[in-house]
Structure 1
Amino acid sequence: MTDIKTLQQQISAEIDKLQFGTEPKELYEPISYIMSLGGKRMRPLLVLLGYLLKEENAAAVVRQALAVEVFHNFTLMHDDIMDEAPLRRGQPTVHEKWNSTVAILSGDTMLVKAYDLLLEINPKLLPEAIRLFNQTAVEVCEGQQIDMNFEAESQVSVDAYINMIRLKTAVLLGFSLEYGALMAGMAEPGRKQLYEVGVQMGVGFQLMDDLLDVYADQAKFGKQVGGDIISNKKTFLLIKALELATGKEKEALDSWLEKTDFDSTEKVEAVTAIYDQLGIRELTTNLMNSYFDKGFELLDRLDARPEGKELLAGFAAQLMKREK
């Protein structure tokens, strides 16, 4: 029986073999750098887990699965520029270590390399794979633009926020599962149900990320804790707090959102205290769990190999218990 650790080792070994290019080094070193920072490798793992729902030998598609990891890291490289993020996985972001121009160009190259890996699948499946990949890539860009639009909007609804994270984060998880199932020969109805499993889990995962941005242990999180609060990023936590706050809590929250000159630590502590008073942590946890539960329900009803379903369900459960 294959296990998650073995699949992760296969993915890491294949990533180590990837050759992106050597000259000019300013173009290729940032790619090697961001790919070497590790991370959960969740998306290629989901490709393999999607494959195992129909077939047994996931080793046959590990290299093709890396297309989603290279694409994901391309989006991170560009997102970090837009967000002016100083850290990625506990290390300086590419635009901080080099500069924004380098990060843009290296990211562009990564997108092309992702297509190179995608081209290695069964030629009969290639048109459908590229169509699904392109649709996902456009939706990820739509989600990122909507997220940036939120910065200029005084009010954002919970529904609008959930739609944004579905596009920006969740559709790539859904694609990853469907892509693996496509390579394994699963029929379209099953693939679409599996895609929705990934989307539901993806929304839950992003809500967890929002929660961790406020409540995580910095040493374990890898990104700047409180970064969303410092930048007034409209996450579910802030949107819900603005909806629920009244009286002195509303005054204090509005005051912190309006300040342009402040001590970052003080702001994070003050806004977190307001979240605590409003029960925002519990509300976020409950919503997050409702998306995970829907994903589990859809997976349970899927007509697929029991061993594959057990592996995917186990991985999702492990994800939900991610250290805070």
Structure 2
Amino acid sequence: MTTPDQLLQALQDEIEQNTYGKHPAELYEPIRYIMSLSGKRLRPLMTLMAAALYTDEWRKALKPAQAVEVFHNFTLMHDDIMDCAPLRRGQPTVHEKWNANIAILSGDVMLVRAYDLLLEVDGDRLKRVIKRFNETAAAVCEGQQLDMNFETRWDVTEAEYLNMIRLKTSVLLGFALELGGIVAGADEEATTLLYEAGVSMGIGFQLKDDLLDVYGDPAKFGKQVGGDIIANKKTFLLIEALERAEDSAKTELDKWVSEKEFDKEEKVKAVTAIYDSLKIRTFTEQKITEHFDKGFDCLERLQAEPARKEPLLSFVHQLVEREN
């Protein structure tokens, strides 16, 4: 049975061999640069693992899996421009290392190259894959726009936030799993379950990121704990706190989110104390468990050999337990 490590190595070899283009160098070097940064390769690996559920010929999913990773990094390249982010995975972002115009144009080429890679799907399944990819790509853009809309709103509801993260981050994980099933010839019931599993897991992962930003171990989290609080980012925790806070807690929270100048450490400590008093951590953990349980239920219901399902289930369990 092929292991996740073997799948990841095959994927990494495939990514390293892809030049995306040669001339002009300024167009293609940024693509090779962002693709070389040490990401988890979670989404394309999920594509390969889903394919391996149903076929030993999982290598035919390598290029489609790479398409998922190229598209994901294209969205990151453009998101970094919109967010004016200086760093990506600890390294300068493309628009910082080159400039915004190059980052926009290189990102556009990445989207084109993602389609090139998807064209490797067998002809009788290609139309379905392209249609689902287009629906997913549009949903990701919708989620990004909603996220930007939320920056100027203080009345964002839990339902609105969950829908935003479903679109912005979760549907791509769902498509990654669904894609593997389609390439491997799985039936529609199986590919639907794979998609739903990915979406539910994706929401759980984002909620966990929100939680770890406040309550994570700084030594394990990999970035500044409390960064979302400092930036007044509309996370699940802040949205719930704004909705639940009353009296003195509401006054205190409103004060901190409206302050223009403040001591960062003091703000993180004060807002975290409000979260504690409102039991936001417990409620968030319940929501995380709810979405992960939905995802695991979908995976358990897949009609595949237990020996083939085990690597995927074990891998997802490890992701759920992560602290970074």
Q: TM-score, normalised by structure 1?
A: 0.94
Are residue 24 (structure 1) and residue 35 (structure 2) matched? no
For 1:316, give the aligned amino acid.
Answer: V
| Count of aligned pairs between the two proteins | 324
- 1:281 paired residue number: 281
Q: Is the counterpart of residue 105 in structure 1 residue 108 in structure 2?
A: no
**SS in structure 1 of the partner of residue 81 of structure 2:** helix
Contact 1:52 1:305 in 2 (8 A): no
Q: CA deviation at 1:56?
A: 2.0
Instruction: Write the mapping of 1:29-68 to structure 2, written as runs, cut at 5 A.
Output: 29-68=29-68
- Aligned residue for 1:270, secondary structure, equals helix
Q: In the alignment, what sits opposite 1:153?
A: 153
Could you tell me how far apart the structure 2 residues matched to 1:286 and 1:87 are? 32
| Cα offsets for 1:213-240 (capped at 9, x unmatched) | 2333455444454332232221111111
Counterpart for residue 82 of structure 1: 82
Give deviations 1:59-115, integer Å, cap 9, x for gaps: 232122100000001111111222222332222222233332222222111111111
Query: Could you tell me which residue of structure 2 aligns to residue 95 of structure 1?
Result: 95
1:210 corresponds to: 210
Letter in 1 for 2:47: V
* TM-align CA RMSD: 1.8
Residues 1:192 and 1:10: Cα distance change in structure 2 (over 3 Å):
same
Partner of 2:187: 187
The alpha carbon displacement at 1:312 in A equals: 1.6
* Secondary structure in structure 2 of the residue aligned to 1:21: coil
Q: Select between 257-266 and 61-70 the one with higher mean Cα deviation.
A: 257-266
Structure 2 counterpart of 1:253: 253
Q: Aligned-pair distance for 1:196?
A: 0.6
Question: What corresponds to 1:296 in structure 2?
Answer: 296
Amino acid of the structure 2 residue aligned with 1:279:
K
The CA distance in 1 between the partners of 2:287 and 2:202, in whole Å, is 13
The answer to whether the Cα contact below 8 Å between 1:88 and 1:223 also exists between their aligned partners in 2 is: no
CA distance in 2, matches of 1:227, 1:79: 18
1:116: which partner in 2? 116
**Unaligned stretches of 5+ in structure 2?**
none
Letter in 1 for 2:122: N
Identify if the C-alpha distance between structure 1 residues 68 and 58 changes in structure 2 by more than 3 Å, giving closer, same or farther.
same
Tell me if structure 2 keeps the 8 A contact 1:150–1:234. yes
| Residue 247 (structure 1) shift | 2.7
Three-state SS of the structure 1 residue aligned to 2:39 is coil
Query: Does the residue aligned with 2:111 lie in a helix, a strand or coil?
Result: helix
CA contact (8 A) 2:200 2:291 kept: yes
Q: Distance in 1 between matches of 2:267 and 2:287?
A: 25
Give the direction of change, closer, same or farther, for the CA distance of 1:88–1:220 in structure 2 (3 Å limit): farther
- The 8 Å contact of residues 215 and 225 in structure 2, kept in 1 or not, is answered as yes
Change (3 A) 1:219 1:76: farther
SS at match of 1:65: helix
Work out the CA distance in 2 between the residues paired with 1:297 and 1:138.
27
CA contact (8 A) 2:129 2:179 kept: yes
- Runs of 4 or more consecutive aligned structure 1 residues displaced over 4 Å after TM superposition: 217-220
* Long gaps (5+) in structure 1: none
Residues 115 and 212 of structure 1: CA distance in aligned 2, closer, same or farther (over 3 Å): same
Give the AA of the match of 1:129. V
Q: Distance in 1 between matches of 2:217 and 2:99?
A: 29
Counterpart residue number, 1:318: 318
Question: TM-score w.r.t. structure 2 length?
Answer: 0.94
- Which deviates more from structure 2 when the two are superposed, residues 19-28 or residues 45-54? 19-28
Alpha-carbon contact 2:60-2:183 (below 8 Å) kept: no
Are positions 1:135 and 2:135 aligned together?
yes
